[in-house]
Each structure stands twice: as C-alpha cells, then as structure tokens.
Amino acid sequence: MTTESIMEFALSKEFLERFQQALDEKDEAFIRQSLEGVNPADITALLYEFDSEECHYVFGLLPKEVDAAILNDLEEDVRVDFIAEFTPEELAKYIEYLDSDDGADILYQMSLKKREEVIRFIDNEEKASYILDLLRYEEDVAGGLMAKELIKANINWTIKQCIEEIRKQAENVQKIYSVYVVDDLGKLVGKVSLKRIILAEDSAKIADIYDDNVVSVETYMDEEEVAIIMRKYDLEAAPVVNARGKLVGRITIDDIVDVITEMAEEERQMMAGISADVEEDDTVWMLSKARLPWLIVGMVGGLLGAQFMGLFRGDIVLIPALAFFIPLITATGGNVGIQSSSIVVQSLANPNVFAGGIVQRLMKVLFVAVVNGVILALMVFGVVMMVNRNEPLAATVSIALFSVVLLASFMGTITPLILDRFGINPALASGPFITTANDLLGLAVYFSVAHLLYNL
C-alpha cells in the first residue's frame, strides 16, 4: 500500500453502528469500500470494537498485506485470542508479508504444535529459514529482536557488483538505512551509506569507501542494553553479530521504540506499586493480584505510623495544635522522596551516569534539598505565625519540615542506588515504599523537634 493511497479515517459512533450493521448483514461491499485505502493502524483500532469472529470475517475481505500489518499491530494479549480463529495455513499466508522478526513474534505466541504447522505452510523457503533461526533465541534478547532481512556487501566487491546485489536483496527489505560490509567469512567489518555508493565510480571497490567505525550488538545482549546503545548513538538500525563476529541480522528503530515504551510502562507501574505487567482489560483477579502487594505494604506502614503516633499521644494532648501539621509533614516527605527516587531511576537507565561520580551527585542532591527545604520552611513559618501567632509551634513545624526534606531527599536518592547494586529493580524504591518509609521518618523527626523546642 503506497503512502498516497492511505486516507484519513475518523472512528465515530455513527460509523461503528453502521459497520456493526454491515457485519450483521454480511455487507461485503460496504466493508470493502469503507476500509479501502485506510491505514492498517486505523483498521486495527476499529477491530478492537468487535469480537474475534467478526474480525476474522473482516480479514477475509481485505488484501493479505493489510491483514498482515493489522495482525502485527495488535496488542499481544489481544492477538493471542485472535490468532486462535485462524488455521495454520491462513496464518502462514499473513506471516509471509511480514519481516522475519515480526513473524517470529507472532509465532512465539502459539503452541509448539501450531507453530510447526504454520512454518510448514510458509511457501517462501528463505522466510521460513529466517524465522526458524530467530525462534532459537529468547524474545527479550537482540537475537529475538532482530530481523534477518538486510542488505550486505562483500568488502572485495566493486561498486557495480554491489549495486546489482542491492537490487536483488532489496526485494525482501522494506527499509534500507545502510549497507553492511562483510569479509569473505561473513564477519561484519563496517558499513557504507547508499549516498557514497551512488556517488562512487563503478570500478571503485567497497574497500575504498566503507566506514569501519560501526556499532554492533551481540545476539545474546539484553533488549534494554540494545535500547540504551541505539539511543546513545542515535542509530536507526543496528547490525547484530554472533559470538564469532558474523553478521546475522539487524534491529531497526521501530522495534526499539516498542522496547523503550515497554520499559517506561513497566517502570511507571512499578513506581505506582503495581508489581506485574497488567492492562485495563485484564481479569479482576489479575489486576487485584498486581496491586495488592504494595497496597499491603502501604497499609502496614499506615498501621505502624498509627502505632508510632501513639508513642507521642501525651505530646498531642499537651499541645493539640501539633496534630494539625502531621499531614503536612508526611505528605511533603513522601513527595520529596518520590521526586528524588524518580530522577535516580531515570538516570540509572544510563549505566555510565553514576560511574565515578556518586559523591558529587549526593552533594548536589544535598544542596538542592537545602534550597528547597529553606524555602518551604520559611513559607510554613510565615503561614503558621499569621494563622496561629504561636512562635514555638511555627519554629517546630518549619524546622521539622526542613529536616524532613533533607532526609527524604537522601532516602529517595540512596535507596534506588542500593537496590540497583543488589540487582533489584530500582523502580521498587519509588511509590509506596518511599512514601511509607518517609511517613515514619517524618513523624519521628517532627515529634523529636517538638520535644526539643517544647522541653516535653
């Protein structure tokens, strides 16, 4: 499908009702006409509104390449149920229109028996061979992410030979970012841009124009490491080599965008206290199971806080006004801790950020906390004096608040670093964990300051 043939598509309530009517009446003409020239991503959004049986019917009316693109766009949990509607022969026809890495991703979601059956029906022997090779790798490593389709040239070829070979290889490659250069053993030695190939003389050799400064990744490398490397070097595609340095595939930016999105979603859920990868349409039990662990942590922290406050019951009886500012102290400590830990968790995504500079970074965190603490303390002191006209109370709240900001900043910074050092996801340091810990520390600081200033 060409770019010019793709039209804008608006998913309205009226269209959904009319499309449902067409499905009920098996109105093939309307379905074909309404979806002709529509971007597969928009058709995917439309099909989410209907059940698997109805979607299967629509698939039978669309061109195979459009069906393949839609199948590739579907969210993984939805696709698992959806592909159950298709025979292995049907799935094989769709997979032939996809890059090998996308085809392998779909096959990963099938049982071993059905996977073998689908591969048996793939007519393109080269495609089937590529997919079989990819299925040897885990999904979350470079070997599982890569596509086998790429353009490569031998270092000893002339430019004329290279261009002829590019024409042959390009039939199976949708996007060409650069041509990878290999030696006679197939080992990656560099890359060369299409621009340099076009501008070179036909009699020139690839050896004369290629760039040997190429960033590659190994098949066993974790997908998060690959994402870091491609983001660091601003790569649109990265060649993948095996343990012997032989070029075996490439990873393109669209696959890495998916990885980065998944990483961000996972960290967001972890920092919010959701301990598993869940979606809004998952079962009630799955959603509850993912949220309960950290809700229990928060509840236990609240019970400990209540017991902790009981130790200072006598202080509150003597000075009831102290109770009014407990929410201020705990909320500020929690917010400061989450801010600090969030910044550290983001920084830990780059493994070089904290190399050799931990003391300097902690000092910087301390100075930021001092500035924020002083400003907040002065503001609170002024407000309490205007409202209560009680200087000891104003001093107690402002000093306690300043101390809590310093302590919460330190806790929010050091806790993710410690967890990361022990191989635990540092995102766990945020959300409920930091909030609960800082609530208890904040109360301890607050009543300790009150004891000192009021001579209790």
| CA–CA dist 133, 116 (Å, integer) | 13
What confidence score (pLDDT) does residue 280 get? 56
Residue type, 415: T
- Please name which of 230, 310, 274, 287 lies closest in space to residue 432, comparing C-alpha atoms: 274
pLDDT recorded at residue 436: 77
* Encoded tokens for 443: 């109360």
CA–CA separation, 305 and 90 (whole Å): 60
Please, are residues 214 and 281 in contact by the beta-carbon 8 Å criterion? no
The answer to whether 237 and 254 are in contact (CB under 8 A) is no
Question: Do β-strands 179-182 and 152-154 pair in parallel, antiparallel, or remain unpaired?
Answer: parallel
pLDDT tens-digit readout, 292-315: 776 777 677 777 777 777 777 777
- Token pair of 138 as six digits: 């885990």
Tokens of 146: 């890569």
Q: Give all strands of the β-sheet with 179-182 in edge-to-edge order.
A: 152-154, 179-182, 188-192
Q: Please list the alpha-helical segments (H only) found in 135-222.
A: 142-145, 159-169, 194-199, 206-209
The region that residue 273 occupies, defined by phi over 0 for left and psi between -120 and 50 for alpha, beta otherwise, is left
Contacts of 377 (CB under 8 A, 6+ apart): 398, 399, 401, 402, 405
- Are the C-beta atoms of 179 and 209 separated by less than 8 Å? no
> What average pLDDT score do residues 122-144 get?
91
What distances in angstroms separate CA 124 from CA 39, 100, 121, 212, 395, one per listed residue? 26, 11, 9, 34, 78
If you average pLDDT over each of 1-10, 164-173, 262-271, which comes out highest?
Answer: 164-173
Q: pLDDT digit string (tens) for 307-337?
A: 777 777 777 767 788 888 888 888 888 888 8
CA-to-CA distance for 243 and 309, rounded, in angstroms?
60
CA gap 98, 71 in Å, rounded: 10
Residue 173's pLDDT band (cuts 50, 70, 90): confident
3 state SS of 217: strand
Using one digit for the tens of pLDDT, what is the confidence trace for 62-120? 999 999 999 998 888 788 888 888 999 999 999 999 999 999 999 998 988 999 999 99
141, 147, 150, 156 alpha-carbon torsion, rounded to 10°:
40
pLDDT by residue (tens digit) across 344-397?
Answer: 776 766 655 555 566 777 788 888 889 999 999 999 999 989 888 888 888 999
Residue type, 233: Y
Residue 278's Cα: distance from chain center in Å?
13
pLDDT at 220 over 90: yes
In 348-357, which residue ranges form alpha helices assigned H by DSSP? none
- Report pLDDT for 211: 93
Tell me: pLDDT of 3 over 60: no
Q: Are 343 and 384 in contact (CB under 8 A)?
A: no
CA distance 451 to 456: 5
Identify the bridge partners of residue 250 per DSSP, sorted by sequence position. 147, 239
Helices (DSSP H) in 61-193: which residue ranges? 64-73, 76-82, 88-95, 100-108, 112-120, 125-134, 142-145, 159-169
pLDDT, tens digit, 9 for 90 and up, residues 233-280 = 989 899 999 999 999 999 998 888 888 887 777 666 665 555 555 555
1: pLDDT confidence band, cut at 50, 70 and 90?
Answer: very low
Beta strands 179-182 and 247-252: pairing type?
Answer: unpaired
What is the pTM assigned to this prediction?
Answer: 0.65
Q: What is the pLDDT of residue 143?
A: 93
Please say whether the beta carbons of 176 and 170 come within 8 A.
yes
Question: Closest Cα partner for 124 from 92, 147, 148?
Answer: 92
Q: Which of 96, 93, 70, 100 is nearest to 82 (CA)?
A: 70
* Cα 177 from Cα 252, distance rounded (Å): 9
Domains and CATH numbers, the chain: 3-140 (1.25.60.10), 152-253 (3.10.580.10), 284-454 (1.10.357.20)
Give the span between the Cα atoms of 179 and 152, in whole angstroms: 5
Instruction: Give the mean pLDDT of 148-156.
Output: 92
First-residue to last-residue Cα distance in the chain: 79
Pick from 112, 102, 92: nearest CA to 146: 102
pLDDT at position 441 is 85
Q: What is the pLDDT of residue 275?
A: 55
Concatenated DSSP letters of 224-241? HHHHHHHHHTT-SEEEEE
